[in-house]
Structure 1
Amino acid sequence: MLKVLKFGGSSLADARQFAKVKSIVEADPARRVVIVSAPGKRFSGDHKITDLLYLCAAHIKYGVSCEDIFAMIRDRYNEIIAECGLHISLDKEFDALWDKMKNGISQDELASRGEYFSARLMAEYLGYEFVDAARWIKFKFDGTVDQDASYEALRSLAEDRRVVIPGFYGVMPDGHIRTFSRGGSDITGALAAAALGADVYENWTDVSGILMADPRIVDDPEPIRRVTYSELRELSYIGAQVLHEGTIFPVREKNIPLNIRNTNAPDHPGTMIMESIGDEMEEGGFITGIAGKKGFSIITIAKTGMSSEPGSLLKILNVLAKHEVNVEYLPSGIDNVSLVVSSDKVSRSLYEMLGELQKEVQPNKITVTEHIAIVAAVGRKMAYRPGVSGKIFAKLGENGVNIRMITQGPEELNIIVGVEEKDFEQAIRVLYNSFVKENVV
């Protein structure tokens, strides 16, 4: 059994959090590969180490001294060393980094040092080997990861060993350090899990899994216990803030379960993400999660006999493609079709686009409905559960939410409704309270 663990910045903010990580790792002998982020905020108003490093880079770029900021970074690590009782010293490495900063250093390399120093300390703390991410994560010149070369390199460095690896960065073919986008330590962890064929990839953060609804809208929503990769992608696409998108693909490709856990509540099972779960849902409910977002418009094109006119839909889509407008959803009837599009995307060329649609399709009528929000209820085999759609529509109607659009994905994963933006939060609360909270209680 092999578990690969990734700990986020909040899990490594100070010595107290370091101690929690050590306790978690030592609780299971299968936890042999640990990926770490740079220390995050210790309290409201504090600074993430990575933010301070980017600030140093900006100061260097404009010829402004960053000596005080660099001292803050150095002090943070030395505090962790002292409070964890470590014997390691990073003074020579900090001195060398400071010299390099004065003589020229790339922003990527400077930003990567947060994870690098964090991993050095954690390796010492756990008694594990330190493996630099630059020794195995190989970027191509186009900025994508060379997975074959990276996987082979990590297997030779870490297989059957207990190691700590810094997240967030790798190396270009010319030897220069390159970082992922922010949150990229998640990707490092996923790549490590895939490379080593882990049985589980544990992603430790400051929440007990993925929540069933946005906590800014719903009070204290329940965490999702189990979810498929497909359901997670649906929730992410419709607006749920879950994982860095690049995190999913390496482990999904290898069919490795991904477990989202809370460093501050290690006994909570969190959310388990798997390729397949089966047809059963969690006890008492049929909805895995509820998500949504605002900022949509609906362009409805009506024409008598449209369904029997070959190529009419293609003409419509070609006009939108010409203006680089993506169609999010496409509900349709016999003599009409509705195009759900991003309001921001169409605002630049709406009237020009409507003129071209009038010319190409010659419809009886074109209407544009603005200020629309999309809300989706996501779950497994929803199309085969009698009455689900009716229950959703009835509950929304009972609570004064006017439905402007309805569609259901053919993958049986979701039921999507369009509502007025003023009803967005209410729609999510109604669905959660009616189909999740009532079953939990």
Structure 2
Amino acid sequence: MKVVKFGGSSLADGEHFDQAIKIITADPQRRVIVTSAPGKRTADDTKVTDLLIKYAQQVIAGQPFQKTVDQIINRYTAIADYFNVPQDQLVPLAKRLNELPSWRFPNNNYLLAAFKAHGERLNAQLMTIILRQLGYEARFVTPEQVGLRVTGTPNNASVTPEAYSLLDRFAFNDSELLVFPGFYGITLAGHLATFSRGGSDITGAILARGLHAECYENFTDVDAIYAANPAVVDHPQPIAKMTYREMRELSYAGFSVFHDEALIPAIQGNVPINVKNTQHPEKPGTLIVPDKDFQPADIVTGVVSGKHFAAIYLHKYLLNKETGFTLRILNILARHNVSYEHMPSGIDDITIILDKNQVDDQLVDTICNEIQEEINPDQLEWIDNYAITMVVGEGMRNRIGVINDILAPLADQGIPVPIINQGASRISIMIGTYDRDADNAVRAIYHRFFAN
């Protein structure tokens, strides 16, 4: 049995729906379908999720919202019309959408989560209606019905271990297609809570693990995951097969084709993931597999750069002699709910690299003031123009001279490298550059390993 997930661009309109259904019905092993909310139909279109966020904000602010509701309903109606679905079958969808403002929520965060979740929920209901009209045995299944329970915050939920045991007991027959809405689960108190944005990938991975799928197929709008960003490198090489670890490392710095958190349930369930293109399902796509017995085809699998990093730099003589100084710094970050990415250090220096999306100018000043008071460094600096380039590959593990092969083309291009850090797994090397040099760094490293 396979779990199949379709992204928002793959379910944006009737034509895309039709293509998704052809894919589903072409393989009898595709029994579980996970839907995203309808995405953009054109570049200037609005995603249904964004319309639902607008709807929620209007309700919270006490503003008129019927025009927004009508826009949302019209998106689903247009898809239904493509398949000549009778209008009376859409009444339950419109009724539920209109009733949302009357629901009781603990606070506005829960309200926002519930509104957002309905993009996926309504699309799953619509997919079920269309499949049945086309003569297929299809069942709409909600997170409530299977016990997909979550904890965490309403808009950044995490699946509970119990959810997997409940999924293991979920009964279904081999002839039916099960249609699940992605993106959300149910809290222990019975409220809707969403995963982080793009979380339909997470739902698909949870179901693949919990239902013991042999493969999780993730259909999106690209032919494969590439060895570099096509916006940076012209016609980069597609990756035929990669490991979970490689995907995690590359996602961290910017590979956005597949939600990196979705790898965790797949890893835990040992389920291979196949990322494929909805418009070209005949292409093999990229297979993401366990690292056991994996034989890399290349030294480097991918090169990616993220420009959303910043750093706190400290210099203090005899810093290495002070017991617990690192703990004291981390405690300051923890108090402000800020995580760090890397922490390269020397005998008198330490650099703490952060995702700068976590902080604003006020929080930066607060953290730096507290570090100054607690540590009293000789020099303290906030650097907000870092970029991190990740060079990743299982083939690097036992290869001598890889660092030289990475740094040589950067030296040839005159690109300064203030930070180098190799992961303990030995399958990745992190290169810190300034953001202005990030794209050139990716191109230089890519051409060193892939041009020939």
TM-score, normalising length from structure 1?
A: 0.85
Which of 381, 406, 417 is 1:403 aligned to? 417
For residue 418 of structure 2, give the secondary structure of its aligned residue in structure 1. strand
Contact 1:151–1:192 under 8 Å retained in 2? no
Confirm whether residue 315 of structure 1 aligns to residue 336 of structure 2: no
Provide the residue aligned with 2:246 in structure 1.
231
C-alpha separation in 1, matches of 2:340 and 2:60? 41
Could you say if the C-alpha distance between residues 382 and 367 of structure 1 is closer, same or farther in structure 2, counting changes exceeding 3 Å? Answer: farther
**What is the CA deviation profile of residues 308-356 of structure 1, one whole-angstrom value per residue up to 9, with x for unaligned ones?**
x5xx4632442353354755334455x4444242375755443653564
C-alpha separation in 2, matches of 1:141 and 1:373? 33
Provide the residue aligned with 1:299 in structure 2.
313
C-alpha separation in 1, matches of 2:344 and 2:97? 59
**Could you tell me which amino acid in structure 2 is paired with residue 414 of structure 1?**
S
Confirm whether residue 281 of structure 1 aligns to residue 281 of structure 2: no
For residue 198 of structure 1, give the secondary structure of its aligned residue in structure 2. coil
Contact 1:227–1:277 under 8 Å retained in 2? no
Which of 379, 385, 393 is 1:379 aligned to? 393
**Could you tell me which amino acid in structure 2 is paired with residue 48 of structure 1?**
K
C-alpha separation in 1, matches of 2:184 and 2:73? 20
Which of 209, 234, 239 is 1:219 aligned to? 234
C-alpha separation in 1, matches of 2:74 and 2:326? 60
**What is the CA deviation profile of residues 105-147 of structure 1, one whole-angstrom value per residue up to 9, with x for unaligned ones?**
6444333332222222222333222222321243356554334
C-alpha separation in 2, matches of 1:166 and 1:354? 49
C-alpha separation in 2, matches of 1:376 and 1:259? 22
Task: Let me know the Cα RMSD of the aligned residues.
Answer: 2.9
Contact 1:316–1:357 under 8 Å retained in 2? no
Q: Deviation at 1:421?
A: 3.0
Which of 114, 118, 124 is 2:123 aligned to? 118
For residue 418 of structure 1, give the secondary structure of its aligned residue in structure 2. strand
Percent identical among aligned pairs is: 34
Could you say if the C-alpha distance between residues 92 and 21 of structure 1 is closer, same or farther in structure 2, counting changes exceeding 3 Å? Answer: same
For residue 324 of structure 2, give the secondary structure of its aligned residue in structure 1. helix
**Could you tell me which amino acid in structure 2 is paired with residue 187 of structure 1?**
I
For residue 55 of structure 1, give the secondary structure of its aligned residue in structure 2. helix
Q: Deviation at 1:381?
A: 4.6
C-alpha separation in 1, matches of 2:333 and 2:143? 42
C-alpha separation in 1, matches of 2:219 and 2:393? 25
Provide the residue aligned with 1:362 in structure 2.
none
Q: Deviation at 1:414?
A: 1.2
Provide the residue aligned with 1:350 in structure 2.
368
C-alpha separation in 2, matches of 1:320 and 1:119? 44
User: Which 10-residue stretch deviates more, 134-143 or 63-72?
Assistant: 134-143
**Could you tell me which amino acid in structure 2 is paired with residue 134 of structure 1?**
E
Provide the residue aligned with 2:42 in structure 1.
43
Which of 125, 142, 150 is 1:132 aligned to? 142
C-alpha separation in 1, matches of 2:34 and 2:365? 43
Provide the residue aligned with 1:195 in structure 2.
210
Q: Deviation at 1:53?
A: 2.2
Q: Deviation at 1:377?
A: 0.7
Matches within 5 A, 1:358-377: 358=376, 366=379, 368=381, 370=383, 371-377=385-391
User: Which 10-residue stretch deviates more, 109-118 or 46-55?
Assistant: 109-118
Which of 262, 265, 270 is 1:250 aligned to? 265
Provide the residue aligned with 1:158 in structure 2.
172
Q: Deviation at 1:424?
A: 1.8
Contact 2:39–2:48 under 8 Å retained in 1? yes
Provide the residue aligned with 2:437 in structure 1.
423
Contact 1:35–1:189 under 8 Å retained in 2? yes
**Could you tell me which amino acid in structure 1 is paired with residue 33 of structure 2?**
V
C-alpha separation in 2, matches of 1:78 and 1:323? 48
Contact 1:290–1:377 under 8 Å retained in 2? yes
C-alpha separation in 2, matches of 1:169 and 1:352? 38
C-alpha separation in 2, matches of 1:196 and 1:166? 15
Could you say if the C-alpha distance between residues 210 and 124 of structure 1 is closer, same or farther in structure 2, counting changes exceeding 3 Å? Answer: same
Confirm whether residue 389 of structure 1 aligns to residue 403 of structure 2: yes
Unaligned 5+ segments in structure 2 are 105-110
For residue 384 of structure 1, give the secondary structure of its aligned residue in structure 2. coil
C-alpha separation in 2, matches of 1:421 and 1:102? 44
Provide the residue aligned with 2:341 in structure 1.
328
Confirm whether residue 268 of structure 1 aligns to residue 252 of structure 2: no
C-alpha separation in 2, matches of 1:61 and 1:321? 36
